[in-house]
Structure 1
Amino acid sequence: MGRVEDLDEGLRTIRELASTLGKVDLASLPEAWLERPLSEDEERRLTEEGMQVVSTLGGVLVMGGYWALRKGRPLMISRAVSASGVVSEASKRFPSNAVGERTEVAPGDGPSTFEFPGGRAGIVLCVDASYPELVRLPALEGAHVVINPASIPFDRIYLWRALAQSRAAENTVFFAVVNLADARYKDGRSVEGNSIVASPEGRIIIELGRKETTEVVNLDLDEIHARRERWPYLDDVREFYDGGRRRP
């Protein structure tokens, strides 16, 4: 999805994009698809719209990342919504220092996990994926898929491609970067999509193009079990922590 300035325009775009998907277990928007922060009433409208959309999709919709107030603090929020309501809410733990976000946006609570029809998923917002400890949390909580709503400029996609492969392999999960399309940073750099899905062995399954689009990707969760028989990283980490070491 590209960036919009008006919420009504954004809701129309979400409906149009969702209408191309058919029935899916899990779908996601990117980060920062709305130019400005949402008011409380607007966030309620967005959630209600997400519930309507997902009643057609049949699974869970991750509403990407958007700025909203929590107890008077602006945070980058991501809600996972089913037809019956909000099932999970993540917030960006470490707003980006590189682009000045940290001076405007407060640190949130970090990743979250939730159930969807195919299994369990986690949300890690944008630059939080640079912290392996944060991605490890939903993996240790049983996530099969980690969704990374992001707004990464085109000149840094090479880095996010590597992160997607590394985070997927070290946690033996599917890692999906859902990147903003058709936007610019304040410094003029373009954000042009290139969403990525990596497999539990670190293989790029798909990388989308540089325009607003949708794609359905079939994930075989049995691949996770097969990979974990060879790479018991999560079991090893649990044993390490259970031995008295400090958890991340």
Structure 2
Amino acid sequence: MKLRIALIQMHVEMGNPTVNFAHAKELMEKAMEKKPDILVLPETWNTGFFPKENLSALADDEGKETCALLSSTASRFQVNIVGGTTAVKEGTDIYNRSYVFDRKGSLVSTYDKIHGFSLSGEPGYFRMGNHLSHFTLDGLTCSMAICYDIRFPELIRREALAGVDLFFVPAAWPKIRNHHWVTLNRARAIENQFYLAAVNQAGRSGDTDYAGASLLLDPWGEDICHLESDEDIAFGRVDTDVIQEVRTQINVFRDRRPDWDRVQ
């Protein structure tokens, strides 16, 4: 099976959901000119990461606006959408949440970021997630993590052991740690022998310069596409035959020692 993925490396205006929703819609429509099978957006594209003074007022109430845009776009273009993340308010809680929609515009998965980035104070503003995300797009088994989650390989390995072939990582990763961004994503792809689509914010938002550097990696950890730091859209294909080739040549899942290597 071969699927074409569009990485939408978006510039996000801090604290301005109205502008950001319109811009996300514009970029998704632009990406669809090349008819990809899956669209992927970055982290917190509605508010930026993240306006501390008025986050509650800016967050999407129960994700209604996010879901309306993503669902309508998915059904209109008959495309799968991994909707990056948006700041979503439920009651008094705010979540850094991802929504995934299939080609019919149906919601197939949600995922709340599990690991809060303490350096930014994220755990003090967002409620952290408590479940993994496991879903299927066009018959391909998928999962995801969000930004800082990529530093916790146990989480990703747990999903790989469940049979994931394509892993998504939406992020708002700063330019100052770009080397970590690329290295960690490449390591996760190599050690778990799956395709990995990592989509970052671009440019300057608030006080932070973002790395961009969105990339699609094959199960060998090689670049299929790799963007620079500016806003852009990249396209790349995944091929399930390559996954089988890699896992046959170096069969880490057969050779692992569950008595020593198990995830606690």
After TM superposition, is the score higher than 0.5?
A: yes
Residues 16 and 101 from structure 1, CA distance in 2 versus in 1: closer, same or farther, beyond 3 angstroms?
Answer: same
Distance 2:36 2:77 in 1: 6
* CA shift digits 1:93-131 (9 cap, x unpaired): 111012221222222125312111151211101100100
1:3 to 12, 17, 40: 12
Which ranges of structure 1 fall in alignment gaps of 5 or more residues? none
Residues 245 and 142 from structure 1, CA distance in 2 versus in 1: closer, same or farther, beyond 3 angstroms?
Answer: closer
Distance 1:235 1:72 in 2: 46
Distance 1:229 1:143 in 2: 16
Whether contact under 8 Å (2:74, 2:81) holds in the other structure is yes
Which residue of structure 1 aligns with residue 115 of structure 2? Answer: 94
Which residue of structure 2 aligns with residue 152 of structure 1? Answer: 173
Structure 1 residue 137 displacement after superposition: 2.5
In structure 2, the residue corresponding to 1:107 is in which secondary structure? coil
Whether contact under 8 Å (1:183, 1:190) holds in the other structure is yes
Whether contact under 8 Å (2:189, 2:221) holds in the other structure is yes
Report the number of matched residues: 242
1:25 maps to a residue whose letter is D
Distance 1:38 1:156 in 2: 27
Distance 2:179 2:31 in 1: 27
Whether contact under 8 Å (1:21, 1:57) holds in the other structure is no
Structure 1 residue 64 displacement after superposition: 0.8
1:79 maps to a residue whose letter is Y
1:124 aligns with 2:145: yes
Structure 1 residue 183 displacement after superposition: 3.2
Distance 1:231 1:57 in 2: 39
Structure 1 residue 214 displacement after superposition: 1.2
Structure 1 residue 71 displacement after superposition: 5.5
Residues 75 and 235 from structure 1, CA distance in 2 versus in 1: closer, same or farther, beyond 3 angstroms?
Answer: farther
Structure 1 residue 166 displacement after superposition: 0.5
Residues 228 and 212 from structure 1, CA distance in 2 versus in 1: closer, same or farther, beyond 3 angstroms?
Answer: same
Structure 1 residue 169 displacement after superposition: 0.7
Structure 1 residue 163 displacement after superposition: 0.8
**1:185-200 equivalence runs, <5 A:** 188-200=207-219
Which residue of structure 2 aligns with residue 205 of structure 1? Answer: 224
Which residue of structure 1 aligns with residue 22 of structure 2? Answer: 12
Which residue of structure 2 aligns with residue 75 of structure 1? Answer: 95
Structure 1 residue 244 displacement after superposition: 9.8
Which residue of structure 1 aligns with residue 46 of structure 2? Answer: 34
Distance 2:205 2:17 in 1: 18
1:50 maps to a residue whose letter is L
Q: Provide TM-score, normalisation by structure 1.
A: 0.88
Whether contact under 8 Å (1:126, 1:148) holds in the other structure is yes
1:44 aligns with 2:64: yes
Whether contact under 8 Å (1:111, 1:135) holds in the other structure is no
In structure 2, the residue corresponding to 1:164 is in which secondary structure? helix
1:140 maps to a residue whose letter is L
Residues 234 and 130 from structure 1, CA distance in 2 versus in 1: closer, same or farther, beyond 3 angstroms?
Answer: same
* CA shift digits 1:45-93 (9 cap, x unpaired): 2101101111244232111112223453222111111233210011111
RMSD between superposed Cα atoms in Å: 2.2
Q: Provide TM-score, normalisation by structure 2.
A: 0.83
Whether contact under 8 Å (2:158, 2:263) holds in the other structure is no
2:84 maps to a residue whose letter is G
Distance 2:212 2:241 in 1: 29
Which residue of structure 1 aligns with residue 7 of structure 2? Answer: none
| Structure with more contact order per residue of length (Cα contacts < 8 Å, sep ≥ 6) | 2
Which residue of structure 1 aligns with residue 106 of structure 2? Answer: 85
Structure 1 residue 151 displacement after superposition: 0.6
